[in-house]
Structure 1
């Protein structure tokens, strides 16, 4: 299998990233690994879609640091590859990281991914599904029973009224963003810095005001779904708790949250089952759910991370399961000789 990973920039990839772990697992299984960025697509006059890819040649690094060094080494030569010769294109870029400084790059993965899928490459997550999820508004497409009460607005008076309706306070965050950036807890509409918070968050677009869940002080649980169902091996789920740092409302690992073992409850599994039909319909192969109690805080469909953390906590490498699933998709595509569309293959 030849698998290409799309990332924001190869230079900013880290050993701890889930993408790095997936690449190492692919190499260990004998597959060829390519890395590309949003600027590496070329649609030629002959309608051939090419990618300019960083590759490792015959090298089979076993360590994350060795892999990443090889990809950015001065002698690294980019190969021009026809996308039809790529079995799987794994879209692992975060559009929110490019939205301000490189807006052209934010949607390149979904746009060119769609063209790749039309040419027979399996693209995960499905690019047409990802096009629906360019910001957190996608979250509102799921049943209200699993979501905290939410307001999306840029009107400060509407936001003040919403805060007044929730005695436990609210969380304010940007409609587009990731990693816990610009996330604030507001306890009262009379807080002196509310205007500054709204100005800071609203500068990049619409704001989300979400009722605060008291259980969030104990952290949230990241639960991975694959092909629409919880990813698990035996009795171990691909899940971990993220406990926020003292005095912080954010549990993101990037925001100093601490990973712990998770207890996956029947309420969490019920949320996953409620989401499954739409995630399958949208071709969402690998997804990370952030859950507090019986409520879903976020759905991560672009670059859900944490598989290396799970491996450290449980000594289980779920990258193996993910690669095996991709291998099965290639076999299914071959059996059906192109009769199945990419959305079906993505979650088959």
Structure 2
């Protein structure tokens, strides 16, 4: 099997990334891996789609740091490759990382992913589905029962009124973005710095105001879904609790959050089952849910991370389970050909 991973940049990849774990698991299983970035696509005059790809060393690496070092060295000598040479294109770029400095790159994954899918390459998550999920407004399409009460606006008056209605406080964050950037907790509409918070967040566009969930002080639970179902291996769920640092509202790992083992309850499984139909319909193969109590704070469909954390917590390699499922999808495509659409294959 030949797998291409689309990432924001080769230089930005790190040993603790989920993409790194997936690539290493693929190589360990005997597959060929290639990395792409948003600027690497070439659509030629004869309508053939090529990429300028980086092939990391094919030898198995025991340490992720060694893999990343080999990837960086390989990036000095990219190769031009026909997209038809790949079986799977795994879209792992985060549009929000490119939105400010490289807006042209933000939607490249969905754009060229669509072309790859049209050429018979299994493209995940499905690019048509990803094009609908370019910002957090996508979250509003899921059942109200699993969402915190939410307002989306650029009006400070609307936001003040919303805060006044929620005595336990409100979380303010940009409609677009990830990694916990510009996320604030507002306890009252009388807070003296509300205007400053509004200016900071609204500079990125629309704001989301969500009712604060008191249980969030203990952190949220990141649960991975594959093909719309909770990812499991060897009796363990691919899930962990993201615990915020002292005095911090955000539980994001890049905001000094820490990972702890967690027990998956029937309540959490009911939440996952509630979002399953739409995720399957949209072709979302690998997704990360951020859950507090019986509510979902976010649905991560672009670059859900944390697989290496769970190996440390449970000693289970969930990456191998994901690669095995890709093998299964490739076999289905070989048996059924073009009669099986990319959207169907994505979550089958």
TM-score range, shorter chain: over 0.9
**Number of residue-to-residue matches in the alignment:** 348
1:61 deviates by 3.0
Q: Could you tell me which residue of structure 2 aligns to residue 246 of structure 1?
A: 246
My pick for the range that moved more, 226-235 or 154-163, is 226-235
Q: Deviations over 1:89-121 (max 9, x none)?
A: 000000000001000000001100000000000
1:7 deviates by 0.4
Separation (CA, whole Å) in 2 of partners of 1:106 and 1:289: 22
Separation (CA, whole Å) in 1 of partners of 2:74 and 2:110: 30
Pair 1:32 & 2:32 matched = yes
Separation (CA, whole Å) in 2 of partners of 1:75 and 1:295: 42
Structure 1 contact 219–241 (Cα < 8 Å) conserved: yes
Separation (CA, whole Å) in 1 of partners of 2:19 and 2:220: 22
Q: Could you tell me which residue of structure 2 aligns to residue 217 of structure 1?
A: 217
Q: Deviations over 1:20-43 (max 9, x none)?
A: 000000000000000010000000
Structure 1 contact 44–50 (Cα < 8 Å) conserved: yes
Structure 1 contact 24–63 (Cα < 8 Å) conserved: no
Structure 1 contact 152–207 (Cα < 8 Å) conserved: yes
My pick for the range that moved more, 72-81 or 141-150, is 72-81
1:233 deviates by 1.8
1:306 deviates by 0.2
The 3-state SS of whatever aligns with 1:60 is coil
**Structure 1: gaps spanning 5 or more residues:** none
Q: Deviations over 1:67-93 (max 9, x none)?
A: 211122178421111111110000000
Structure 1 contact 333–340 (Cα < 8 Å) conserved: yes
1:266 deviates by 1.1
Shift in CA distance, 237/344, structure 1 to aligned 2, threshold 3 Å: same
1:185-204 matches, cutoff 5 A: 185-204=185-204
Separation (CA, whole Å) in 2 of partners of 1:326 and 1:209: 38
RMSD: 1.0
Q: Could you tell me which residue of structure 2 aligns to residue 278 of structure 1?
A: 278
Structure 2 contact 55–74 (Cα < 8 Å) conserved: no
Moved beyond 6 Å, runs of 4+: none
Shift in CA distance, 149/261, structure 1 to aligned 2, threshold 3 Å: same
Separation (CA, whole Å) in 2 of partners of 1:313 and 1:227: 23
Structure 1 contact 180–255 (Cα < 8 Å) conserved: yes
1:63 deviates by 2.2
Q: Deviations over 1:277-307 (max 9, x none)?
A: 1000100000000000000000000000000
The 3-state SS of whatever aligns with 1:283 is coil
Q: Deviations over 1:7-66 (max 9, x none)?
A: 000001000000000000000000000001000000000000001000135443332122
Structure 1 contact 28–62 (Cα < 8 Å) conserved: no
Q: Deviations over 1:171-226 (max 9, x none)?
A: 00000111111000000001000000000000010000000000000111000000
Separation (CA, whole Å) in 1 of partners of 2:236 and 2:74: 42
Q: Deviations over 1:210-260 (max 9, x none)?
A: 000000001110000000000012431000001111111111111111110
Separation (CA, whole Å) in 1 of partners of 2:57 and 2:217: 48
Q: Could you tell me which residue of structure 2 aligns to residue 262 of structure 1?
A: 262
Q: Deviations over 1:149-178 (max 9, x none)?
A: 000000000000000000001000000111
Q: Could you tell me which residue of structure 2 aligns to residue 115 of structure 1?
A: 115
Shift in CA distance, 208/163, structure 1 to aligned 2, threshold 3 Å: same
The 3-state SS of whatever aligns with 2:338 is coil
The 3-state SS of whatever aligns with 1:338 is helix
Separation (CA, whole Å) in 2 of partners of 1:60 and 1:309: 20
Structure 1 contact 17–308 (Cα < 8 Å) conserved: yes
The 3-state SS of whatever aligns with 1:313 is helix
Q: Could you tell me which residue of structure 1 aligns to residue 319 of structure 2?
A: 319
The 3-state SS of whatever aligns with 1:24 is helix
Structure 1 contact 70–76 (Cα < 8 Å) conserved: no
The 3-state SS of whatever aligns with 1:263 is coil
